[in-house]
Chains A and B, each alone.
Chain A
Amino acid sequence: MAKAAAFSGAYVSNLGPSVEGFLLPAGDEDGAFFWEGTARGELRIQKCNACGHLRHPPRPMCPRCRSVDRGYAAMSGRATVWSYVVPHPPLLAPYSDLAPYNVIVVALDEDPNLRFVGNLVSGVDGALNEIDPESIRIGEAVEAVFKKFVRADGSEQTLPFWVRAS
């Protein structure tokens, strides 16, 4: 058995998937502000308090000025599709039941080097597989929406999804 991947920093223990079986973030201390933001409908990006550099994924030190003084800034949620894949089985349930579905990487309007992995859906409650993958175009404009998931223990986790820009 391979050893577990090493990771830096403490993490909130993995509370398990959503009641539907979707994987949810285990999270870590560095990223906690992000998930607090999604719960409020905000797409937050880590910001260096010393030089203002925006960075994602969150981490303790600014790679530009080496400051550990860090906060975050709320983004507009506007982005463009940078790339996408269409996974087919074998996959984990319940993703396998939805395959083929799309996974996209988006580049944020504020800085195209800030990218996010997500799904293109038709609306906040849309399924991963309802957009025709043939219709997805690299470069098309999207915006963030926020969907709440509930775990078996009743805890909640809100994830960003992406819809075509109106």
Chain B
Amino acid sequence: MSPGVALRDATAIVGISQTEFAKHLEPSEAELACQVIVAACADAGVEVSEVDALCSYTMEATEEVDIARNIGCGEITFFSQVGYGGGAGCGVVGHAALAVATGQAEVAVAWRARKRGSGPRPWTNTSTQLHVPGQWTRPAGLLRPVDEIGMLTRRYMHDYGATREHLANVATAVRGHANVNPAALMYAKPMSREDYMASRWVSEPLCLFDNCLETDGALACVIVSAERARDLRHPPVYVHAFAQGLPPEHQTMVNFYNEDPLTGPAWACAKRLWANADFGPDDVSVAQIYDAFSPLILLSLEGYGFCKRGEAGPFTDNGNLEWGKGSLPVNTSGGGLSEAYVHGFNLINEGVRQMRGTSTAQVENAETCLVTSGEGVPTSALLLRR
């Protein structure tokens, strides 16, 4: 039996929690992390003292030792951090699931706390940016993530005829979902196609509304065995499959240096993910696709096999990503573009809500959900099912 098959439906997400999302929250990242983990345990109906695995991002500022001694953990027997910023999220949950499935732990917590809304933009710290590989890009004024993804986007548009109308399809669909989610930062702010087209440039071909929000917030979830999950408060949301992806000769964010930069980490991740699943892209009810930038959704739709290479633009036409209208509702809580940007962890919690039937944009009879992490960086993905 392959490890992927051993993981299939062996664990479940049984608790989720999130703080308020805001441009500025008063508590520290450490305090937000502790609060949200305790709340996720309460949502699951497990004692905090039962937690024996802690998993987060390498970019998480609060380390396991600080979490454990704050929230009153007992003995922790598994801890891991996953790298590459927004590529990490599903990997964090996946590592937790692997730990539980292989008997290294019984009650695992995955979390992310970040005060990106209050704090400085990481790209402004030039002292850490000019080493490998920044020496090859920053001096030319390719300074920010939006410039780096804009470069891939321009080439994608050139090669496959995708247009700003397609990017607007993505941004307006996701905004519409935020407009029915009271927790979303953009809840009360509708955005029309005209608003999108009139917004200012940030890095041509990308405009303001192709960019995610800058948010303070924290989220956590609790993972236990499928057997334990059946005795807990909520219907289990099974981790059906999990994968990470790092393609050949990849460079994080500045993936310009290999044969096909547009075949990004999503493609490598998807191969393993679908190989380990007993269903395919056509069976996905709803998807939460990492959206630090709107074009990442186009690239991911192709990478995860919802359409062929170059067809993601037209795939978004006619409201195809919109709840209540399209064949594949995407980012049903508003995603990073319009709910909150917490390195994609809000996509995970929304995937769980869709499987519980409690989303504010609930897809009827949703059975399965794909959740992905960042494209353009070493990435990860989860298939959740009821």
What residues make up the interface of A, taking CB atoms closer than 8 Å to B? Answer: 1-5, 7-9, 11, 14, 17, 22-28, 30-31, 56-57, 63, 82-88, 91-92, 95, 98, 100-101, 103, 105, 113-119, 128, 133, 138, 159
* B151→A85 contact, CB < 8 A: yes
Enumerate chain B residues within 8 angstroms of A103, measured Cβ to Cβ: 140-142, 147, 151
**Cα distance, A2 to B128, chains bound together (Å):** 10
- Besides A17-B126, A85-B147, 20 more A-B contacts (Cβ < 8 Å) are A14-B130, A25-B130, A25-B136, A26-B130, A26-B135, A28-B132, A31-B135, A57-B133, A84-B154, A85-B154, A85-B206, A86-B203, A87-B142, A88-B203, A88-B204, A91-B143, A105-B155, A116-B136, A119-B140, A159-B139
Q: In this complex, which of A1, A103, A114, A138 has the most chain B Cβ atoms within 10 angstroms of its Cβ?
A: A103
- Cβ of B256 < 8 Å from any Cβ of A? yes
**Residues 113 to 161 of chain B near chain A (Cβ within 8 Å):** 119, 122, 124, 126-144, 147, 150-152, 154-155, 158
Residue from A17, A25, A91, A113 in contact with B259 in the complex, judged by beta carbons closer than 8 Å:
A113
A-B pairs with beta carbons under 8 Å apart, 19 shown: A1-B119, A2-B59, A2-B61, A3-B59, A26-B130, A63-B249, A83-B152, A85-B142, A85-B203, A87-B141, A87-B143, A87-B147, A95-B141, A101-B141, A103-B140, A103-B142, A105-B151, A118-B140, A159-B140
List B contacts of A28 (CB < 8 A).
Answer: 131-132, 135
Contact of B136 among A1, A57, A84, A101 (CB under 8 A): A57
Chain B's nearest CB lies how many Å from the CB of A32?
Answer: 11
On whether the beta carbons of B61 and A23 are closer than 8 Å, the reply is no
The 8 A CB mask of B191-234 against A (1 = contact, 0 = none) is: 00000000011111110000000000000000000000000000
CB neighbours of A118 from chain B (8 A): 140
Interface string of B168-210 (1 = CB under 8 A from A): 0000000000000000000000000000000011111110000
Contact: A24 with B137, CB < 8 Å? no
Cβ-closest chain B residue relative to A160: B140
Are A7 and B58 in contact, CB atoms less than 8 angstroms apart?
no
Q: Is the CB of B143 within 8 A of A92?
A: yes
In the assembled complex, the Cα of A41 lies from the Cα of B124 at a distance in Å of 31
Pick the residue among B122, B140, B144, B201 that contacts A117 (CB under 8 A): B140
Write the nearest CB–CB distance from A137 to chain B, whole angstroms.
Answer: 9
CA distance A113 to B144 in the complex (A): 23
* Size class of the contact patch on chain B: 35 or more
Do B61 and A1 have beta carbons less than 8 Å apart? yes
Tell me which residues across on chain A come within 8 A of B128, comparing CB atoms: 4-5
**B131 nearest CB across to chain A (Å):** 5
Question: Are B201 and A100 touching (Cβ within 8 A)?
Answer: yes
Closest to A18 in B: B139
- The residues of B that contact A26 with a CB separation of less than 8 Å are 130-131, 134-135
Q: Residue on A with the closest CB to B207?
A: A88
Q: How far is the CA of A11 from the CA of B134 in the complex (A)?
A: 12
- Our pick among A63, A85, A100 for the contact of B205 (Cβ within 8 Å) is A85
Chain A residues with CB below 8 A from B358, complex form: none
* Contact surface of B with A, Cβ cutoff 8 Å: 58-59, 61, 119, 122, 124, 126-144, 147, 150-152, 154-155, 158, 200-206, 248-249, 251, 254, 256-259
- B131:A7 contact, CB within 8 angstroms: yes
Asked if B155 and A5 sit within 8 Å, CB to CB, the answer is no
Q: B132–A8 contact, CB under 8 A? A: yes
Closest residue of chain B to A114 (Cβ to Cβ) is B257
Q: How far is the CA of A57 from the CA of B138 in the complex (A)?
A: 14
- Give the CA-CA distance A63 to B205 in the complex, in Å: 33
- Chain B residue numbers with a CB within 8 Å of A11 are 131-132
Q: CB-CB < 8 A to B256: which residues of A?
A: 82, 105, 115, 117
What is the CB-to-nearest-CB distance from B216 to chain A, in angstroms, rounded to a whole number?
A: 15
Interchain CB contact (< 8 A) of B150 among A24, A85, A115: A85
The verdict on A117 contacting B135 (CB below 8 Å), with A24-B130, A83-B154, A91-B144 known, is no
Measured CA separation A25–B180 after assembly (Å) = 47
**Contact residue among B59, B200, B254 (Cβ-Cβ distance under 8 Å from A88):** B200
Q: How far is the CB of A10 from chain B (nearest CB, A)?
A: 10
Quick one: which of B126, B139, B203 contacts A87, CB cutoff 8 A? B203
Query: Please, which residue of chain B has its CB at the minimum distance from the CB of A112?
Result: B259
Interface centre among B143, B155, B251 (most CB of A within 10 A): B143
- Inter-subunit contact A84/B130 (CB<8 Å): no
Which A residues lie within 8 Å of B134 (CB)?
26
B132/A83 in contact, CB under 8 A: no
Measured in the bound complex, the distance between the Cα atoms of B150 and A100 in whole Å is 14
A138 and B155 contacting across the interface, CB-CB below 8 Å? yes
Closest to A28 in B: B132
Q: Which residue of A lies closest to B122 (CB)?
A: A2
Instruction: Find out whether the CB atom of A113 lies under 8 angstroms from the CB atom of B136.
Output: no
CB distance B254 to A117 under 8 Å?
yes
